[in-house]
Amino acid sequence: MELHRLTILEARNLLEKGEISPSELFGAFLARIEKVDPLIKAYITICEKEIEDIVEKRGKLYGIPIAVKDNICTRSIRTTCGSRILENFIPPYDATVISKLKKEGAVIIGKTNMDEFAMGSSTENSAFFATRNPWDLERVPGGSSGGSAASVAADLCVASLGSDTGGSIRQPASFCGVVGLKPTYGRVSRFGLVAFASSLDQIGPITKDVADCAYLFSIISGFDPLDSTSYPIESEDFTKYLGRGVKNLRVGIPEEYFALGVDREVKEVVLRAVELLSGEGVEVLEVKLPHTEYAIATYYIIASAEASSNLERYDGVKYGFRVGDYRNLDDMYVKTRTFGFGKEVKRRIMMGTFSLATGYYDAYFLRASKIRALIKRDFDEAFRKVDVIITPTAPTTAFKLGEKLEDPLTMYMSDVLTVPSSLAGLPAMNLPCGLDSNNLPVGLQIIAPLFREDLLFTVGYVLESLVPFERKEVPLGV
């Protein structure tokens, strides 16, 4: 039995029966990481001693090795955000989602690589190294949760947590051929998530299948008084929505999402999956989301403005990196931030500061906020006609390492199909639905109304049973 291939539910069944032990399972993954991760580079930190902490915690995740994106605080485990400025930062507390995992007996096996402060679409913006796609080591895994998606795809953990601001769970899940969920904004606590854009950031699961996604989401979701943006709605067992029929459900297909530079093969694979759904009694309707074309510009103004504010705290005074050679306080600020932040982070801080500046606020940030409201209204109108919306997750499959690194505008367009639902705060899930001619995964995105993650799991579970997609043993036969 190849233990590293197990899903959460499969591993849980074996652990409960006593057919394997937590130490045996954890050891199998450490051995897999030692063998494979030098090729993938999914992990920044590997937690080899974490197994010692689980002892008698026989919860819903007893003994399950989970990887965690490195912008989610973990007590006594380094949390770098993929940045030099936090390279040696060790949080004194756990994020709420980590506390929930530990309460259920999960084992944190490592912290995964990411674009610095979650700013990027390829995991090439990490201060430490680029992560590679397990399907093709010359390609990116997507970003910013590239390490989390790659670790699941390469069987370097059972499941992982990522964060999604404008597509940072869904797009890498698409590129790596795994399931990734961005929950409704406020459905999962952000306490302990290092902030990028506070009105957009959400933590979510990345898993090997839809059932695992529903199971893990049931554990990490729910109201948290420590998070002022947490919505007062308790979690539930979302696995009860698996296996429900989809007959008479209405699925919307937005024409705008099949025109925005979407690769022909990606479009064909996604529409083929929708045809399979229609065979199950689903009604497929066209819907219009007319303000979609403004979403990328709107997102980068709002997200950069919030990042500019959130990243002010990294000044070398209280914690994090500080340069050793400086003349005075101002010089220390400048040198610390110049050396500590990478190119993309500096770019977004400058964009955000500019859009908030006196004389430019109305023209940029205020206008973007108004367009954000229009984008949300588009979705509200569409959901009066349909139950869920299906689109491609990304315009292309995984691109080559270095291909877009020096062209930020082209890189930003990688998120053109995920950003609108983030601006509207909606739940959305990536599901692998086939391969292109290069044998790379194509991702399908399901978008639901606010707090209707149940619909994502219902539709996703049926689609998963209809679409012939087998996870590849990666990398390259290792």
Q: Which pLDDT score, from 0 to 100, does residue 476 have?
A: 47
389 neighbors 420 (Cβ within 8 angstroms): no
Ranges of residues in the chain with a pLDDT under 50 are: 475-477
Q: What's the rounded Cα separation, in Å, for the pair 159 and 443? A: 18
CA 69 to chain centre: 9
Domain 3-242+427-466, CATH number (from 3.50.50.60, 3.20.20.60, 1.10.1660.10, 3.90.1300.10): 3.90.1300.10
Reply yes or no on whether 355 is catalytic. Answer: no
Kindly report the three-state secondary structure assignment for every residue of the chain: CCHHHCCHHHHHHHHHHCCCCHHHHHHHHHHHHHHHHHHHCCEEEECCCHHHHCCCCCCCCCCCEEEEECCECECCECCCCCCHHHCCCCCCCCCHHHHHHHHCCCEEEEEECCCHHHCCCCCCCCCCCCCCECCECCECCCCCCHHHHHHHHCCCCCEEEEEECCCCCHHHHHHHCCEEEECCCCCECCCCECCCCCCCCEEEEEECCHHHHHHHHHHHECCCCCCCCCCCCCCCCHHHHCCCCCCCCEEEEEHHHHCCCCCHHHHHHHHHHHHHHHCCCCEEEEECCCCHHHHHHHHHHHHHHHHHHHHHHCCCCCCCCCCCCCCCHHHHHHHHHHHHCCHHHHHHHHHHHHHHCCCCCHHHHHHHHHHHHHHHHHHHHHCCCCCEEEEECCCCCCCECCCCCCCHHHHHHHHCCCHHHHHCCCCEEEEEEEECCCCCEEEEEEECCCCCHHHHHHHHHHHHHHCCCCCCCCCCCC
**Cα dist from 209 to 173, 216, 272, 463, whole Å:** 11, 11, 20, 11
Q: Which of 168, 230, 308, 421 is catalytic?
A: 168
Q: Which residues lie closer than 8 Å to 52 by C-beta, 6 or more apart?
A: none
Q: What's the rounded Cα separation, in Å, for the pair 13 and 18? A: 9
Phi, psi of 8 (to 5 degrees): -60, -50
Of 422, 367, 344, residue with least CA distance to 171 = 422
Q: Which pLDDT score, from 0 to 100, does residue 58 have?
A: 78
Q: Which of 83, 99, 126, 144 is catalytic?
A: 144
Q: Which pLDDT score, from 0 to 100, does residue 259 have?
A: 85
The structure tokens 């485990």 sit at 77
Spatial strand order in the sheet of 202-207: 43-46, 107-112, 65-69, 159-164, 202-207, 179-182, 428-435, 441-447, 388-392, 250-254, 283-287
Q: Which pLDDT score, from 0 to 100, does residue 358 have?
A: 85
- Token pair listed for 322: 């500080």
**Cα dist from 265 to 175, 182, 396, whole Å:** 14, 25, 8
Q: Which pLDDT score, from 0 to 100, does residue 472 have?
A: 60
- Token pair listed for 472: 């590849």
The structure tokens 């459900």 sit at 249
Phi, psi of 346 (to 5 degrees): -60, -40
- The residue type at 467: V
**Cα dist from 49 to 27, 45, 57, 317, 476, whole Å:** 11, 12, 16, 31, 29
Reply yes or no on whether 168 is catalytic. Answer: yes
Q: Which pLDDT score, from 0 to 100, does residue 345 have?
A: 97
Strand pairing category for 179-182 and 202-207: antiparallel
Q: Which pLDDT score, from 0 to 100, does residue 389 have?
A: 98
Q: Which of 41, 69, 111, 376 is catalytic?
A: 69
Reply yes or no on whether 472 is catalytic. Answer: no
The burial class, CB within 10 Å (0-12 / 13-18 / 19+), for 265 is middle
- Token pair listed for 439: 């044998």
Q: Which pLDDT score, from 0 to 100, does residue 468 have?
A: 79
